[in-house]
Structure 1
Amino acid sequence: MKVVRTDKLRSLLDAWEPHTVATSPHLKALGFTAQDVQNYTASHWLVSLGRGAFKRPMETVTWQGALYSVQSQLKLPVHVGALTALEMTGNSHYLRFGESKAYLFSPLRVVLPAWFQTHWGDEVRHMQSKLLPNEFGLTEQRSPEGYPLTTATPERAILELLHLAPKEFDLVEAGQIVEGMTSLRPKLMQPLLETCASVKVRRLFLYLAERVNLPVMRHLNVEKIDLGKGDRSLVRMGRYVPKYGLLLPKELVSNGG
């Protein structure tokens, strides 16, 4: 049976955030039954994206729109991180030429819905990590369409990026990115470094920031940051930095270490 556009359906479609997904829990909370949704889909008022997810007809949904629904409707602790967060927080000059992958971070064992992975799995890299406390160093940034997305602050994002180096990001590239981060806030950077779970990331940030004399270094209490023990070799053929016990690309290390 074809469903006509009732006031109830009209209110749903008119209130729909453009380029986003409506999930089954969200529709249920709005008072729509499973039978309602089935009828709307059969009559092409809604388009199914997979189990428990729908969009408006003739509308393109971006990964940002899908993530907005994951965050706001499903309440999953997934945020925009690393290089993608640096771009969203106004640091667009960090964007790689031709970069197409968006980096999303979450605690361990958080899984994106199957419908998200099916439609946007090629556009995003979902990193499950215990690198930093779940809700620390996060902010809200507007997507290109205008809705708020939970996003890492620059202070958290740079640590996430270093966590992914050298596998996802070249270390020399990472060094260039750190060099441009002249507005890092010590009051946020200090506790992030103290709670960071990776010795490699702590050492690497401090070395790269010290190397280019970032302003934040004048305000950090390095004695409170645990640098662990033992060396960390991040490249096969590199140059050793004795102070931080790091083997790094020669381009990042002066002859004096």
Structure 2
Amino acid sequence: MSTVNTSKINQLLKIQPRGTVLLASWLVDKGYSFDLQRRYRESQWLESIGSGAMIRTGDHVNISGALYSLQTQLGLSTHFGGKSALAMQGKAHYLELSSKRVYLFGTKGENLPTWFIQHNWGTQIEYFSTKFLDSTLGLTEFQVKEFAIKISSPARALMECLYLSSNNEDFTECYELFEPLNNLRPDQVQELLESCTSVKVKRLFLYMAEKAKHSWFEYLNLEKIDLGHGKRSLVENGAYVSKYKITVPKALESNGGTIL
């Protein structure tokens, strides 16, 4: 390989963090032709992990490094959310980030690339394509070794957990996650609730926030939050909460006081 091409790959590897994926389309935009990329693979500078995706030869790349490339090179909204985001920020101490399952959320209509879907990342991926929240709201930067990725803030992550909840156990677990979060920013919570299109999520979130007696709840303007109309029965044979017109698990309603 020529000295010019060797210098070019060295420049690339200096600016690209270790532990991340290099996408062929992004490299072309940066001036690295498909032919040049092929020569880098033949010279063992890079190795393929799937169609259109490469890593430094010998580098170890996990799902965080893959998400970095989805976010920064493809501009996708895919991010760690729900219980995974809470665990990463130390908000769910009994949930291990190294567990065999991670929760990813993305915007409805976005498609994950084949290389990402087919590669073995060493963990089971639960991916949810939704539009109940604005994809630009409630995200925070999380540092992973040499790079940072966007993940859900605690407030958004809680809403994602509530979005997925469907039975007594889910709702009880969500409340357990909710109880320690006494330092959420009311302005961020307000913005998320106003943008949220799920009546179920909004009613449950407010119900749990009030039940947990979090001080930030008092700073929310409920008049600006559309809670829809009519009753919502979330579980069978539950307890009805008239203020939020929802039926929740009896065990949950009897835990720590009642909201009428």
Checking the alignment, whether the CA contact within 8 Å between 2:17 and 2:146 is kept in structure 1 is no
SS at match of 2:93: helix
SS at match of 2:163: helix
The CA deviation at 1:235 is: 2.0
Q: TM-score, normalised by structure 2?
A: 0.88
Checking the alignment, whether the CA contact within 8 Å between 1:86 and 1:94 is kept in structure 2 is no
Checking the alignment, whether the CA contact within 8 Å between 1:81 and 1:105 is kept in structure 2 is yes
Name the structure 1 match of 2:136. 135
What do the CA deviations read for 1:121-140 (whole angstroms, capped 9, x no partner)?
75322211111112122221
The CA deviation at 1:95 is: 2.4
Checking the alignment, whether the CA contact within 8 Å between 2:50 and 2:119 is kept in structure 1 is no
The 1:94/1:154 distance shift into structure 2, 3 A limit, reads farther
Distance in 2 (CA, whole Å) between partners of 1:97 and 1:192 is: 25
SS at match of 1:6: helix
Checking the alignment, whether the CA contact within 8 Å between 1:77 and 1:107 is kept in structure 2 is yes
- Structure 2: tracts of 5 or more residues without a match: none
Aligned AA (1:77): S
The CA deviation at 1:154 is: 1.6
Name the structure 2 match of 1:23. 23
Identity %: 39
What do the CA deviations read for 1:125-169 (whole angstroms, capped 9, x no partner)?
2211111112122221112x23111122222221111111127x7
The CA deviation at 1:171 is: 1.0
Distance in 1 (CA, whole Å) between partners of 2:252 and 2:14 is: 54
Distance in 1 (CA, whole Å) between partners of 2:86 and 2:220 is: 21
Distance in 2 (CA, whole Å) between partners of 1:66 and 1:89 is: 19
Distance in 1 (CA, whole Å) between partners of 2:72 and 2:94 is: 28
**More divergent stretch after superposition (187-196 vs 235-244):** 235-244
What do the CA deviations read for 1:161-208 (whole angstroms, capped 9, x no partner)?
1111127x7110101111111011111111211221011001101111
The 1:99/1:243 distance shift into structure 2, 3 A limit, reads farther
Name the structure 2 match of 1:242. 242
**More divergent stretch after superposition (84-93 vs 123-132):** 84-93
Name the structure 1 match of 2:75. 75
Distance in 2 (CA, whole Å) between partners of 1:94 and 1:194 is: 31
**More divergent stretch after superposition (181-190 vs 9-18):** 9-18
Length, aligned pairs only: 255
Name the structure 2 match of 1:174. 174
Distance in 1 (CA, whole Å) between partners of 2:243 and 2:93 is: 31
Name the structure 2 match of 1:190. 190
The 1:98/1:172 distance shift into structure 2, 3 A limit, reads farther
Checking the alignment, whether the CA contact within 8 Å between 1:63 and 1:120 is kept in structure 2 is no
Q: CA RMSD in A?
A: 2.5
Name the structure 2 match of 1:220. 220
Checking the alignment, whether the CA contact within 8 Å between 1:107 and 1:128 is kept in structure 2 is yes
Distance in 2 (CA, whole Å) between partners of 1:93 and 1:82 is: 14
SS at match of 1:125: strand
Aligned AA (2:137): F
Name the structure 2 match of 1:165. 165
Alignment of 1:6-155 (within 5 A): 6-93=6-93, 95=95, 99-120=99-120, 122-143=123-144, 145-155=145-155
Aligned AA (1:9): I
The 1:98/1:29 distance shift into structure 2, 3 A limit, reads closer
Checking the alignment, whether the CA contact within 8 Å between 2:91 and 2:177 is kept in structure 1 is no
The CA deviation at 1:211 is: 1.1
What do the CA deviations read for 1:212-241 (whole angstroms, capped 9, x no partner)?
211111111222222212222222232222
Distance in 2 (CA, whole Å) between partners of 1:98 and 1:22 is: 24
Aligned AA (1:130): K
What do the CA deviations read for 1:50-93 (whole angstroms, capped 9, x no partner)?
11100112222110000001111111122222222223334252
